[in-house]
Structure 1
Amino acid sequence: MDTISQDHAKLDSDTIADAIRPLVEADPSIKVKSIIAESQSRFNYNVSYHKTWLTKQKFVAKFFYDWEVSYQILPVWLKAMTAKMPKSRVQIKTLFVYHESEEVQDVRVLHHVFWSFYPCIVAFRHCKLLVQVDSTHLYGKYKSALLVAVAQDENKNIVPIAFAIVEGETGDT
């Protein structure tokens, strides 16, 4: 406490990140207000919402990787999944990147990805013939939607069948 100056210039995002590390590791979806409360009790200083939010984003990116790395390792994760469960299904569609109407070589972007785990495919055989699709919007740098197709088995349990990340909720996706 003695090292923090009156204007709290030393209470930067790195100091706050060190303090909140156990909280965010335990619950990455922790509310910013909870982090502010922890900072208040620990440093006896009210950290602004904006500074706390930026700190949390920085820590999450450091701990769980940032958007670019996450999208780059998605095909690796899906390939590992199909190696462990060979009868699972994966479809990835990427698009070329253009700069001034010329294709940029060796650069592609994710358009959509579809996957279904083999146990889900097997379980679908025992489900009722009604399939529901629900979505959740993914926010952040890349705006997209996560679609989940579900069915109900004979015991009225909800069974996830397939998953997809698409650019939005449209009839085509």
Structure 2
Amino acid sequence: MGEGNATAEDGEFSVRMEFGSRELVISAIKSYTISRGVDYTVYELELQTFYAKYKGYGAGCDWLIRASLIRKKACWEIRRYNGKHTCTIDTISQDHAKLDSDIIAEAIKPLVEADLSIKVKSIIAEVQSRFNYIVSYRKAWLAKQKFVVKVFGDWKVSYQTLPIWLKAMTAKMPRSRVQIKTLTVYRESEEVQGVRVLHRIFWRLYPCIVAFIHCKPLVQVDGTHLYGKYKGALLVVVAQDGN
């Protein structure tokens, strides 16, 4: 139930099979149809019910599945299931509609955890190896972005966390210095109240401050451009010890 996968020996669902959440039910159904090269149409999607039929229902195959929330058990349960697919698939498309970026993101989790800079082409190859489908570059790229956001948060959250991180840093080293400059936000020439955006930030650690008198009277400045959603540059100032 916790994994959300069909547990029968042949990989089929069964009536009264239980799942921990609505998301796990849908994920299991997606994985089931992807592995069999078939697709389904959702007929009822509510907070307490998920009801789907084979896309070609009635044309030689009457596959359908219905799952509902059982509040007494605090789980989702398969309430109706017509059994195995009886249809025959003449051709398997290169991609699958239900093989979306969410499914891919979960599948590539170990790869991205091991190497955050993994190339999209490697993700496409992994998906082909696991699911026997060749997904588009965009779908693979979106899957990677979703996983990164899940682990590290999105760009907006990261920037909002920056002042908190700097406050924690100065709490540990009280005589360190931080300077933040923000800008007013305007919408159609009117100032948006209560909203500021980062313009620039400067911080210096206290050990560097006290050590500076022992350095050569020369500083080196190096920088790197930021290539994320928000552009900018990260500058580093370095001084050399006199010895």
Q: Which category describes the TM-score, using the shorter chain as reference length? A: 0.7 to 0.9
Deviation >4 Å, runs of 4+: none
Q: Which stretches in structure 1 are left out of the alignment for 5+ residues?
A: 156-173
* Deviation of the 1:21 alpha carbon: 1.2
Given candidates 92, 100, 114, the residue that maps to 2:180 is: 92
Given candidates 181, 185, 196, the residue that maps to 1:108 is: 196
Query: Using the alignment, how far apart are the partners of 1:72 and 1:104 within structure 2?
Result: 17
Query: Using the alignment, how far apart are the partners of 1:134 and 1:27 within structure 2?
Result: 26
Amino acid at match of 1:45: Y
Aligned to 2:163: 75
Aligned to 1:3: 33
* Deviations 1:34-92 (CA, angstroms, capped at 9, x unpaired): 22232232223322222111111122122211111111111111111111111211100
* Deviation of the 1:13 alpha carbon: 0.7
Aligned to 1:150: 238
* Deviation of the 1:10 alpha carbon: 2.2
SS in 1 for 2:221: strand
Bigger relative contact order (CA 8 A; separation at least 6): 1
Q: Which moved more, 1:137-146 or 1:19-28?
A: 19-28
Amino acid at match of 1:29: S
Amino acid at match of 1:80: A
Aligned residues: 155
Larger radius of gyration: 2
Shift of the 153–17 alpha-carbon distance from structure 1 to 2, 3 Å rule, reads same
The structure whose residues are more often helix, as a share, is 1
Query: Using the alignment, how far apart are the partners of 2:119 and 2:214 within structure 1?
Result: 40
Shift of the 129–43 alpha-carbon distance from structure 1 to 2, 3 Å rule, reads farther
* Equivalent runs, 1:1-173 vs 2, <5 Å: 3-4=33-34, 5=37, 6-7=92-93, 8-154=96-242
* Deviations 1:95-130 (CA, angstroms, capped at 9, x unpaired): 111223322111111110111222333343333322
Q: CA RMSD in A?
A: 2.0
Amino acid at match of 1:119: P
TM-score w.r.t. structure 1 length? Answer: 0.79
Query: Using the alignment, how far apart are the partners of 2:114 and 2:228 within structure 1?
Result: 22
Q: Which stretches in structure 2 are left out of the alignment for 5+ residues?
A: 1-30, 38-91
Query: Using the alignment, how far apart are the partners of 1:79 and 1:35 within structure 2?
Result: 38
Aligned to 2:83: none
